Structure 1
Amino acid sequence: MNDIRLTQLSHGGGCGCKIAPAMLADMLKTLPQTALFPDLLVGTETADDAAVYRLNDEQALIATTDFFMPIVDDPFDFGRIAATNAISDIYAMGGKPILALAIVGMPVGTLPLEAIQKIMEGGASVCAKAGIPLAGGHSIDAPEPIYGLVALGLVHPDRVKRNSSARDGDVLILGKPLGVGILGTAMKKGVLDAEGYRQLIDTTTQLNTVGAELAALDGVHALTDVTGFGLLGHLLELCRGANLGAAIEAGKLPLLPAAEGFARQGIGPGAIGRNLASFGEAVCFDAGVEEWQRRIMADAQTSGGLLASVSPECAEEVLALFRAQGFAAASVIGQMQTGAPVIRVEP
């Protein structure tokens, strides 16, 4: 099993496997609208993190699914990362997870049984950490290894945190540092050292549990998690949902320490280029923003941090909540602004 490199069995890894935002929008535009279902509080309209369905006056059900191919070679770590990433969507809606089901696709003729078991054990360990059962799932024989979860959660209908309710003047706070896709690519190339790998695993297996606490704050207006479309792609979803612009400062972005050097060398997943091409004129870079900074803002994050749009008066309380739960890198990175849904990136 130790001779098997999971990342060599797939053409992509982690949330870098996601279809580019512009192509995904084209794929979805012919689907029927969901307005006929009055209890569906969140559907597909604003590309939010999960669906939310009102059960009664006190409870709404959050439902999401997320799966991908390996971003690391260690089977147990791959399972942990995939499960953490899937459960994050529940926290991004302001809810608490209650149940998960496994999605398993494995090349059973290529990958040893022991490796498949370790992947599933890794996912189960994260579910246990989140306090929920891994209650079943579905498996297929697939040409590339795929693992993820269907995750279900609960939230009070009045505390749902959408990605479309940001307000003019809101402060933008990012909970985790950027650079996951870049470190994953460096690992695949064999140039990531043990410390860089530790940083990669630590951030991608950290559950975004703070989302449930943020839901209780009236000053938290919008919430999402940063994954395959990169920081800029998911911030654009906030902008378009609220019909507002945003300004961020590249110099204030929290970064994984090992990622900057690789970013300067141009190392990173192919998703970076796809994401940048999808943004078009919706992202305006100041001339002082360096090329490596532009790339790291479009880097596909796997199990990335929460991005919160909060009132300025609430910003310190939100930062304190993040840091109390172990998100030491949480930082104010910019502000929502009146105007067209365009992001201005300053040095």
Structure 2
Amino acid sequence: MAPSFSFHTTSDEVAAAFADEIKGKNVLIIGTSVGGIGFETARAIAVKSPNLVIITGHNPERLKIAEETLRKEAPSANVRPLRLDLSSLEHVRKAAAELNAMPEPLHVVIHNAVAIPGPFKLTEDNLEAQAVTNHIAPFLLTKLLAPKILAARTAEYTPRVIFVSASGHAFCKGVNLRQLEKPEPASHESLDALFQSKCMNILSAIELSKRSKGRINSYSLHPGVIDTNLMRKGDVPAGLKKLELTDAEGRPNEKLHPWKTIPEGAATTIAAAFDPSLNDKPGAYLDDCVIANDKIAPHASDPATAEQLWAVTERIIGESFTF
């Protein structure tokens, strides 16, 4: 029988349901600081006998803490840390080279990292910081790792690329492709930039699945509204109040919007990564661990927009994505 999931399903429950799928897999998880859903995703996967769990972070000290904590939680797991700074395309290429030098193929890549919403800021590549961390760098990394991802493909298994999006994608009017390619301070609003990047995550999953022609299955998802470290940084607290997700004192507004725990929040990521019932549903969007394509806003599922976003992103990184 197919497992039954709900709003309150936890990461351990999903990992237990798909333990046979997790066993022996090599999994790369981007953004795994302790206290976030990426770390919880790594922990729940690591205790179910994968072959390899690669965790990443841009801060060496926090990455070390994540590694040590994960080893305590899953002593028998094969955990490998990798420093990855998504704000720099040069560093993404360096990290990709390190990953490509590893002998193992990649069965699952999970893009979980997110930039803290804040004032307009250009990266060293003259690109808007949130767009780089949340979309451009994950796109480039996936492109560079494509051969290693494809190497995991067999007659019985199709590798997966997961994009952690958010229901907030519906709060913007769509992706401003001109702003993505030629960012201007006057056109920047921090939360809108975040919501646009979440649209890009959904569009990327749809287009990657389409262009790979069955060789890679990609999915996006809404993890839920969760009290992680991110919720107390940058422009997030003010944005949560504006959206009435928190009350005047900054506490979760459970009466209007139910919040998830971190284990509940990581559950949908694990379902997207390992649920075998998704095999014939590439490009799907998940919520509460199940397909929820009806919850995608029209501007985040338009095929023409997905194609345009792909082309613009290729132009930005100066490379064509080939399979």
TM-score by length of 1: 0.27
Instruction: Compare the two structures and name the one with the higher helix fraction.
Output: 2
Instruction: Compare the two structures and name the one with the higher strand fraction.
Output: 1
Q: Which structure exhibits the higher relative contact order, with contacts defined as CA atoms closer than 8 Å and separated by 6 or more residues? A: 1
Bigger Rg, structure 1 or 2: 1
TM-score by length of 2: 0.28
